[in-house]
Amino acid sequence: MSTNIVILDAACANPGDLSFEELEVLGTLTSYPRTPPGEVVSRARHAQVVLTNKVVLGREQLEQLPELRLISVLATGTNVVDLETARERGVVVCNVPGYSTASVAQHTIALLLELTQAVGRHNRSVKSGRWSRSEDFSYWEQDLVELDGLTLGIVGFGAIGRRVASIAAALGMHMLVHTRTRRPATGIEYAELDELFRRADVVTLHCPLTESTFQLVNAERLASMKRSAYLINTSRGPLVDEVALAHALATNRLAGAALDVLSIEPPPSNHPLVAEERCIITPHIAWATQASRERLLAQSAANVRAFLAGQPTNVVNG
């Protein structure tokens, strides 16, 4: 009998520019662009395999899916699944680690360069006619910052943090790192979290969201940073107290911030940071290069293939 495979929110990873062929050959595939909470159970009721990116599979949903045997999360983080309930019900949960390392590191550096060099801002000013009206051959709309010799504070030193460090080193930056597990590494200096915030010219976040990291960027740590410093977050929105960050920017306590993630996504129109001029916000796209999404789908298919062969991989609730 063919395996029923359901993708609950395919548009998150594949809005139509990629193929699900590797999954289609593994069973009967049903793909939904998006699934509202009230339709999760009806759409997944007869599935043995479910793939989800942001659609929540909590206890309430899992208890109504007796045929379910595998949940393959189309991401690295698995907070959308109740892992304990899945384990109790004999449902294997797997994820896709490492697929977006290069893309997230690249986006982090892009945000860093936009904060300090303002390429996009100056392009917009030229297109609006300011250069044509200028009395001088050159102008700049904000202070331009040279990164050579500055200190980059990296919170979290997994694969993404290490990749960011290697790129930043090529720009001449000094690396100050806070991590739970310190490994021997050349060209970096380890520091406690509060020291890192005090000393860094730029702080970039690359740690998971846990009880201990929730709002680790709070009013106190923001107040301890240099007034000329920048904050970058391409990790998880709730790592930052966004109200405190908005206040720090509005009161010139911080030079700028760049965020690819927010605590609520999409954000409400009155979000305190959306209108803040010195806060660059991108719509959670650091992971979303085509190469990254191709790896995500290929590894997701490999997860399903391995499970069907009796050798599950990337299991997070074993």
Q: Which residue shows structure tokens 């680790």?
A: 216
Helix, strand, or coil (residue 83): helix
Confirm whether 284 is a catalytic residue.
yes
Confirm whether 34 is a catalytic residue.
no
Per-residue confidence (pLDDT) for residue 224, from 0 to 100: 98
Query: How many CA atoms lie within 13 Å of 255's alpha carbon, on the beta-carbon side?
Result: 22
Residue 279 phi, psi dihedral angles, 5° rounding: -120, 110
Of 24, 67, 88, 265, the active-site residue reads: 265
Q: Residue 219: what residue type?
A: A
Confirm whether 135 is a catalytic residue.
no
Using alpha carbons, select from 48, 47, 5 the residue that is nearest to residue 23: 5
Per-residue confidence (pLDDT) for residue 100, from 0 to 100: 97
Of 107, 163, 199, 236, the active-site residue reads: 236
Q: Which class would CATH give 4-99+290-308?
A: alpha beta
Per-residue confidence (pLDDT) for residue 193, from 0 to 100: 97
Torsion of CA 214, 114, 154, 148, to 10 degrees: -160
82: CB partners within 8 A, 6+ apart: 57, 58, 59, 62
Residues 68-105: pLDDT tens digits? 999 999 999 898 999 999 999 999 999 999 999 999 99
Of 69, 247, 284, 305, the active-site residue reads: 284
Q: 239 pairs with which residues across the strands?
A: none
180: CB partners within 8 A, 6+ apart: none
Taking the whole predicted model, whether its pTM rises above 0.95 is answered as: no
Per-residue confidence (pLDDT) for residue 1, from 0 to 100: 72
- The packing angle between helices 159-170 and 101-117, to 10°, is 40
**DSSP character string of 53-71:** SSS-B-HHHHTT-TT--EE
Q: Residue 240: what residue type?
A: V
Q: From the options 3.40.50.720, 3.50.50.60, 1.10.238.10, 1.10.3130.10, give the CATH code of 101-281.
A: 3.40.50.720
For the chain, residues with pLDDT lower than 70 are none
Q: 28 pairs with which residues across the strands?
A: 4
Q: Which residue shows structure tokens 């069907």?
A: 308
* Average pLDDT of the chain to the nearest whole number: 96
Q: What is the DSSP letter of 215?
A: T
Domain span(s) for CATH 3.40.50.720 in the chain: 4-99+290-308, 101-281
